[in-house]
Amino acid sequence: MLGTPHEERFDRITRLAARLLDVPFAMVNLVADDHQWTKAGHGLAVQRTPLSDSICRYPVQSGVRLEVNDLTEDEPFRTNAFVVEDPHVRFYAGEPLSAGGTPVGTLCVLDTEPRELSDDQRALLAELAAWAEAELNNTALNHLVAELHDREHRLQRLVDAVPEGVFLVDEAGAARATNAVAERLFGLPHGRRVPLDTLLPGLSPDSPPFARRRRGDRTGVTRAEVTGRSADGHRFPLEVSVSPLEDAGDDRWLVLARDLSPREDAEAELRRQERLTSMILASAGDGIVGSDHAGVVVFANPAATRILGCRESDLVGKSLHAVAHHTRPDGSPFPQDECPTHRAITESQFVVVHTDLFWRRDGRPVPIEMSVAPIVSGDEVHGAVTTFRDISQRTEVERLKDEFISVVSHELRTPLTSIKGSLSLLTNGVMGPVPAAQQPLLDMARRNAERLGELVDDILDLDRLEAGRMPLRPVETDADELAAQVVGSLQPAAAVAGVELSVKPCGGGATVVRVDPHRMNQVLTNLVGNAIKFSSPGCPVTVSVSRAGDEVCLAVRDRGPGIPEDQHAAVFERFRQVHEPGGARTGTGLGLPIARGIVDRSGGRIELTSEPGKGSTFTVVLPAARETTGGDGG
């Protein structure tokens, strides 16, 4: 009540007191431990007064009326702020007011003149004080009720925050939902009481888990999984925990109900996923074998047993390596340390093997491609999954394709040679003069026969390179000499194109490399040929040789159209042509893949730097032969 604002019902009393007792000031004051609060004041606007200036605290402490005729004459009041300062009161009469039996304040009247109340006036003051006291107690009650409401509200919020449905079940077996979850779960209107077995069919207060208390068992909470039924008849799985309300005196229970549908749905989903996973594994066309951390097979799918021509029991419990991977194609033993599955587990690495061999149970080999993934959780490797595929068919197709390419190419070469020879006899006039009108046609036929020949050569080269069948005969070769040779042989072509072709040797004998000179000549011829082909007349093409550390570089630089950055990798792929063919720009699109293949196999690499519009530089980087002494090139 302290600190509460003015209320008309108290103002009315102080107004009446002032009028009836003919005083300028009347107040209802409440006294606390450290201050006085004026709940209603007639003639005075004060609200909060320090306890030291409170006159009312005397009647509150004593519990009896205090009347002082002249405050300036009385000891403790003489120096009181209300006496010595404005409004300089002289007279005080205060009746104590109690709330709940304890004095808490006063109804008091004050005057600026000394005076004395008559008996009638005193009786009047006592009457008005009784009225104020009744109002005060009314206020206290209102506060109590409001507080109770507030507590109940907070309690409800707490119960509503419980993630489970909360019920109260009374001794008659009637259940009442007490939170929103319970109302929602059962579609039960707020406050409605329904028989327990309406919500939990088949359960009554006499059945477990409610009956224990009846049998005198007071050991608290009992849990059970039961079926719930909502207002619309829908049934769902529930877990209930029932606790007897100990202070209720009679049989009452608190029931917490948890909807188990989400859990059951999750379990059903898990079972569905498991079925799906095993169906996928069973239907997979690739062999899938799971091994534990020791490499022991714990799972093999039907494709794995089919490819290996064995039963699941031939694999499970054994090592895949011991069963099917023990021997190399040449018949020598395959050490387990080198087995991909073993490496994946011990090195915790994904291992891919494009061609390998497994041995079937009947002793026949089966070519396979496999990948092994370690099963890792945290830092630990728990095993590995080996996936393999029977590539017999693919191997056979590749063999046939290779055979086809080499047969076709060889078969094409022979007739091409005679076509070219005949055409050259004709065009050179060996067979007599060629009529002028026929000359262009014969020239075109010869050019195209030559292109066809180049294409066949390129296809054969690429085929041999990819199959690892291109024989390379490395000998010590001076890159300076190589560059000079190639530039020399292409000078006529450069002259026809109007391109200034030059060579910048390194000199000093520091550019010896170990390569097949014939093949390296082919590489450089291709690069310089491209540089000439893509340069406009008057533009320079330079081949410079340099030494950088342990490497020798042959850089072919032109000022042609350049190659966009995103095409740098593509130009080394087969049949890739970035620029539109036309004019002198003819080609097979195989030159760069062949060049890269030869350089790679020679232990080097080709680097490309280019800026569209400004030109390109293809650099062949080769390891310097050991004997040569290195400089820094130049």
CA distances from 176 to 166, 227, 228, 278, 377 (A): 9, 17, 14, 47, 49
Q: Which is nearer to ligand ADP, 92 or 534 (CB)?
A: 534
3-state secondary structure of 140: helix
Cα distance between residue 206 and residue 629, in whole Å: 104
Ranges within 197-226 binding ligand ADP (CB under 6 A): none
- Residue 24 is given by DSSP the state S
530 binds ligand ADP (CB under 6 A): yes
Give least dist CB 581 to ligand ADP, A.
7
Near ligand ADP by CB under 6 A: residue from 37, 511, 558, 620 = 558
- Residue placing its CB nearer to ligand ADP in the complex, 106 or 530: 530
Q: Work out which of 616, 619, 625, 628 binds ligand ADP, going by CB under 6 A.
A: 616
Residue 366: strand, helix, or coil: strand
Q: Is 563 in the site for ligand ADP (CB under 6 A)?
A: yes
Contacts with 120 (C-beta within 8 Å, 6 or more apart), sequence order: none
Which CB sits closer to ligand ADP, 372 or 462? 462
One residue of 290, 295, 587, 597 binding ligand ADP per CB under 6 A: 587
Closest approach of Cβ 587 to ligand ADP, in Å?
2
At its nearest, how many Å lie between ligand ADP and the CB of residue 411?
23
Q: Residue 584, CB half-sphere, CA atoms under 13 Å: how many? A: 15
Q: Does 497 bind ligand ADP (CB under 6 A)?
A: no
Q: How far is the CB of 589 from ligand ADP (least distance, A)?
A: 4
Residue, CB closest to ligand ADP: 587
Among 591, 597, 604, 633, contact with ligand ADP (rule: CB under 6 A): 591
Closest separation between CB of residue 360 and ligand ADP, Å? Answer: 43
Give the interface size with ligand ADP as a residue count (CB under 6 A). 20
Among 559, 555, 483, residue whose Cα is nearest residue 520: 483
Give me the least distance between CB of 562 and ligand ADP, in Å please. 6
Give me 526's structure tokens. 């291709």
* Closest approach of ligand ADP to the CB of residue 564, in Å: 10
531 binds ligand ADP (CB under 6 A): yes
Q: How wide is the angle at C-alpha 267 spanned by C-alphas 263 and 272, nearest 5°?
A: 145
Interaction between residue 604 and ligand ADP (CB under 6 A): no
Question: In whole angstroms, what is the distance from residue 362 CA to residue 364 CA?
Answer: 6
SS3 state of residue 633: coil
Element (H, E) at 357: strand 351-359
Stretch that binds ligand ADP, among 338-346, 398-406, 428-436, 559-567 (CB under 6 A): 559-567
Give me 574's structure tokens: 């087969």
Q: Classify residue 473 by its DSSP letter.
A: -
Question: What span, in angstroms and rounded, lies between the C-alpha atoms of 31 and 51?
Answer: 8
Q: Kindly identify the residues of this chain, within the stretch 234-293, that bind ligand ADP according to CB under 6 A.
A: none
Does 29 contact ligand ADP by CB under 6 A? Answer: no
Return the number of the residue (340 or 591) whose C-beta is nearest ligand ADP.
591
Q: Is 608 in the site for ligand ADP (CB under 6 A)?
A: no
Stretch that binds ligand ADP, among 130-138, 230-238, 523-531, 543-551 (CB under 6 A): 523-531
- What minimum distance in Å lies between the beta carbon of 579 and ligand ADP? 4
Distances (CA, A) of 170 to 214, 258, 566: 13, 20, 80
Going by C-alpha positions, the residue among 185, 180, 191 that lies closest to residue 238 is: 185
Span from 62-70, 335-343, 380-388, 526-534 in contact with ligand ADP (CB under 6 A): 526-534
C-alpha 401/C-alpha 399 separation (Å) is 5
**What does DSSP assign to residue 188?**
P
Which residue, 389, 353, 346, is CA-closest to 371? 353
Decide whether 580 or 627 has the Cβ nearer to ligand ADP: 580
Q: Which stretch binds ligand ADP (CB under 6 A): 7-15, 384-392, 585-593, 625-633?
A: 585-593
What are the structure tokens assigned to 126, written together?
A: 């006592």
106 binds ligand ADP (CB under 6 A): no
Q: Is residue 577 close enough to count as binding ligand ADP by CB under 6 A?
A: yes
The token pair that represents 219 in the structure block? 């050991």
Among 35, 361, 579, 605, binds ligand ADP (CB under 6 A): 579
Indicate which single residue of 560, 597, 604, 633 sits in contact with ligand ADP (rule: CB under 6 A).
560
CA distance 77 to 59: 13
Which of 341, 459, 534, 625 is the binder for ligand ADP (CB under 6 A)?
534
The residue among 330, 328, 573 whose CA lies nearest residue 466 is 573
The yes or no reply on residue 576 touching ligand ADP (CB under 6 A) is yes
Instruction: Say whether residue 592 binds ligand ADP (CB under 6 A).
Output: yes
39 vs 559 by CB, closer to ligand ADP: 559
Strands lying side by side in the sheet with 66-68: 48-50, 35-42, 25-31, 102-111, 91-99, 66-68
Smallest distance from the beta carbon of 615 to ligand ADP, in angstroms? Answer: 7
- The residue range among 49-57, 151-159, 320-328, 555-563 that interacts with ligand ADP, by the rule CB under 6 A, is 555-563
CB 326 within 8 A of CB 359: yes
What count of Cα atoms within 13 Å lies in the side-chain half-sphere of residue 230? 16
- Give the total residue count for the chain: 634
**Calpha distance 591→162 (Å, rounded):** 76
Q: Is 82 in the site for ligand ADP (CB under 6 A)?
A: no
Least separation in angstroms between CB 485 and ligand ADP: 20
Specify the residue, 55 or 555, whose C-beta has the smaller distance to ligand ADP.
Answer: 555
Q: Rank residues 205 and 593 by Cβ distance to ligand ADP and give the closer one.
A: 593
Cβ burial of 374 (10 Å; 0-12, 13-18, 19+) is buried
**3-state SS class at 430:** coil
Site residues (vs ligand ADP, CB under 6 A)? 526, 530-531, 534, 558, 560-561, 563, 571, 576-579, 587-592, 616
